Amino acid sequence: MPSPNFSQKTFEPIPKIEEEMSTPSSFGSITKKEELCDCRLPVRICTSKTKDNPNKKFKVCPNSLKPGKKCKYWEWIDELVTGNPDLKQELEAVKEDVACLKKEVQELKNKTHSYRVEISCNII
Count Cβ atoms within 10 A of the Cβ of residue 58 and give its class: 0-12 exposed, 13-18 middle, 19 or more buried: middle
* pLDDT at residue 109 is higher than 70: yes
Report strand pairing: 44-47 vs 57-60: antiparallel
- pLDDT tens digits along 59-94: 999 888 778 777 888 888 876 555 677 787 888 899
Q: Name the residue ranges covered by the structural domains of the chain.
A: 1-77, 79-124
* pLDDT at residue 17 is higher than 60: no
Side-chain-facing half-sphere of 84: CA atoms under 13 Å: 10
Q: Report H helices in the chain.
A: 85-123
